[in-house]
Amino acid sequence: MDDNERDSKYYGVVVTILLLAGLGCAIGVVVSILAIGFLEGISWMNAEFLISPHERIQLATSPLLLSLATVMVPAVGGLLVGFMVYYFVSVRRPLGPPDTILVVQTRGTPHPLGSGLMSTLAAMISLGCGASVGQYGPLVYLGTLVGSLANHLKLKIPNVQAICIASGVAAAIAVSFNAPIAGMVFAHEVILRHYAVKAFAPTTVAAAMGFIFANVIFDRPPLFLVVFEGVQYGYEFILFAIIGILGAFLAVGFSKGILACQKYANRSRIPVVFRPMFAGLVLGLIALQIPDILGIGQESLRFATIDGAFEISELTLIIIAKIAVTILCIGFGFAGGVFSPILLIGILFGALFGGILDELNLIGHSGVVPYAICGMMAATSPVIGAPLAMILIVFELTRNYDLTTAAMVAVVFSNLIASRIFGRSLFDVQLSARGFDLALGRINALISYDSITNVMQTEYARFRPADKIGKVSFQLAHIGRTAGVVVDKDGFAVGVVHIGDCAGPPPTTSLEAVMNRETIRFNENTNIGEALEAFRQSRYEVAPVVSSQTRQLLGVVFESDVINEYRNVTDRIRQEENEPV
């Protein structure tokens, strides 16, 4: 390489670094402003619609109005959300983190901007009207919307869309938790699924900008404040591990409950448009007795770290009710995430564990704070599949090394168990149901999601059963193929022929006598992974692709094309994870 080439390459690297950093900064600023607006909008609606505990206390002297608002606001909000999602979101369901992960991993096309904006607005209304859903999932998708816009800049940077989406997600999480490091790690751990150097700079810059806007410019309050002097007894780490184990079962039950409720809702006779309204009505009726289940529940979350703030019976009732209404709200179509509800459920569960220790008074312990935090992390990390990000959130929120260490123990045990009996996260299980199974590994997930029709050819060697094998051999040799498809007069594939099949018999022998009728056949639903395995066990290099409905021949697939597609995927993943800036 001469000096000019070396200088040109160095200049290209510098330009790329500056472009990526600039994109990260711009995305961080835009996402921060939009995310803060989203959160402020929810707070305003909570106050106006009497969801906020502060406003409800002010109206304690008007029980009839308060009761009416408690029942009607979630129901009317659910009706509005149902119409918005059904008529204005392209897939007729709220969009969230699984959609972000799928777009980034497959390098697919994001949903239309209008659908994303309407889904986000529906989430704001859901949360503003008191639905028991989360704010962080919609914020993640808000970051996705902003990040995906960078793809329209036509920059000649490989994988720029995925990097910009991850930057948007990092900024959204940083704003939400005042935790820039956790935001950056969450983007890599959950969205990108790698820690490539090329993506590190923009995600870090975006997360830092999110933190600056949330913490410095707008001075947003932290999620909670705790005072903790340290773990007083070494044996308490065993208790933290026990919380981790129990938290795993809580997380799995919560996740399975949501999936089961979604299936039940799809089988029910309630029209899709009216399902959120039904969930809102049930939520409101329960909230008449247990108002703590309304909305995000930030006040309950903050009180959970205070000794004696809740009675054991009260905690138990709130936990059970919050789990039930969250499953109902998400399962029946309210727009929102699972992050906030499981945070609240987890911290209340940990506080309950600490309260039981107080009641039993058998051993000394360090108060309710470490158990509440451990419960929160143990329940949340398996649901969202971000153990490292959750540990960092604890550290950034509390600045307490002992609490972080305690949470780390709980998170480790929780994820070990939950991953074995359920999966890495609720998001991954939802994606698996859509045919994209990341439990197989990124490469296998991609080839299993890649349809065989992407490599199908419509021009190929086609023969009739009555053709002579001499003619067949000549035509195969002429086009450079070793096999072809045999079709009948109606266009149905009846077999394949290999050039070796024509070698023994006389040239005038009809093809019907030597062709293979038991050949492998694919349809439009076959994926590259299935085709690769089928060819591995076959001696033929071609297979017909037939319609699953009509059995008509659609085209053929050659083994070489399937292998090339597999190599393209592996090369892409290898380049994405290891390519320098």
pLDDT digits (tens, 9 = 90+) for 278-289: 999 999 999 999
Q: Count CB neighbours of 11 within 10 A.
A: 10
pLDDT band at 581 (very low <50, low <70, confident <90, very high): low
pLDDT at residue 1 tops 80: no
Amino acid identity, residue 223? L
Query: How many CB atoms neighbour CB 123 within 10 A?
Result: 31
- pLDDT for 10 equals 53
Q: Residue 40 above 70 pLDDT?
A: yes
Q: What mean pLDDT comes out for the span 232-254?
A: 95
Query: What single DSSP character describes residue 96?
Result: -
Please, which pLDDT band fits residue 119 given cuts at 50, 70 and 90?
very high
The residues, ordered by sequence, that sit 6+ positions from 152 with a Cβ below 8 Å of its Cβ are none
Mean pLDDT of the 19-44 span: 91
Measured from the Cβ of residue 144, the count of other Cβ atoms closer than 10 Å reads 30
For 536, the enclosing helix (H) or strand (E) is helix 528-536
pLDDT at residue 508, rounded to an integer: 83
Q: Identify residue 33 by its one-letter amino acid code.
A: I
Place of tokens 């709200």: 329
Specify whether the CB–CB gap between 89 and 118 falls below 8 A. yes
Is residue 209's pLDDT more than 60? Answer: yes
Question: Are β-strands 483-487 and 493-498 bridged in parallel, bridged antiparallel, or unpaired?
Answer: antiparallel
Number of other CB atoms surrounding residue 466 within 10 Å: 10
- Is the pLDDT at 176 greater than 80, yes or no? yes
**Amino acid at the residue 242:** I
Q: Which tens digit of pLDDT belongs to each residue from 435-477?
A: 899 988 899 999 999 999 899 888 777 888 888 888 888 888 8
45-76: per-residue pLDDT in tens?
A: 999 998 988 888 888 788 898 999 999 999 99
Mean pLDDT, the chain, integer = 89
**370 against 503, higher pLDDT:** 370
pLDDT at 11: 53
C-alpha distance from residue 157 to each of 152, 193, 195, 265, 575 (Å): 12, 19, 17, 43, 13
Say if 3-217 and 450-570 have the same CATH topology: no
pLDDT of amino acid 4: 54
Q: What is the pLDDT of residues 373-386, one digit of tens each?
A: 999 999 999 999 99
Alpha carbon distance 431, 108 (integer Å): 14
Structure tokens at 511: 């093809």
Give percent above pLDDT 90 in the chain. 55
Pairing verdict, β 553-558 and 462-463? unpaired
Going by C-alpha positions, the residue among 480, 482, 460 that lies closest to residue 553 is 460
Residue with the bigger pLDDT between 519 and 203: it is 203
Q: Are 177 and 560 contacting, i.e. CB atoms less than 8 angstroms apart?
A: no
Q: How much is the pLDDT for 537?
A: 84
User: Residue holding tokens 């607005």?
Assistant: 121
Q: Model confidence at 3, in pLDDT bands (50, 70, 90)?
A: low
For 295, list phi and psi in degrees, rounded to 5.
65, -155
Instruction: Say what the pLDDT of residue 109 is.
Output: 87
Query: Quick one: which of 170, 161, 183 has its CA closest to 142?
Result: 170
CB count within 10 Å of CB 78 equals: 31
Q: Is the pTM of this model over 0.75?
A: yes
Fold of 3-217: Clc chloride channel (1.10.3080)
Q: CB–CB of 321/293 below 8 Å? A: yes
Owner of token pair 């002429």: 478
Q: Both tokens of residue 263?
A: 């299936």
pLDDT digits (tens, 9 = 90+) for 279-327: 999 999 999 999 999 988 888 888 888 888 888 999 999 999 999 999 9
Per-residue b/e over 31-68, b at no fewer than 16 CB within 10 Å?
Answer: bbbbbbebbeebbebbeebbbbbeebeeeeeeeeebee
Torsion of CA 240, 242, 245, 248, to 10 degrees: -60
- 534-554 average pLDDT score: 84
Question: 353 with 151: CB under 8 angstroms?
Answer: no
> What's the pLDDT band for 482 if we cut at 50, 70, 90?
confident
CA distance linking residue 304 with residue 315, whole number of Å: 9
Give percent above pLDDT 70 in the chain.
97
**Residue 15 confidence class, pLDDT cut points 50, 70, 90:** confident
Q: What b-and-e string marks burial along 184-217, b requiring 16 or more CB atoms within 10 Å of the CB?
A: bbbbbbbbbbeebebbbbbbbbbbbbbbbbbbee
CATH superfamily of 236-446: Clc chloride channel (1.10.3080.10)
pLDDT at 234 over 80: yes
So where are the chain's domains? 3-217, 236-446, 450-570
Q: Tell me the per-residue pLDDT of 558-568, one tens digit each, with 9 for 90 and over.
A: 888 999 999 99
Mean pLDDT of 412-437: 93
CATH number of 450-570: 3.10.580.10
For residue 77, pLDDT over 90 is answered with: yes
d(CA 385, CA 430): 12
390 pLDDT more than 70: yes
Look at residue 165 and tell me whether its pLDDT is greater than 90: yes
**Encoded tokens for 134:** 């989360």
Predicted pLDDT at 427:
95
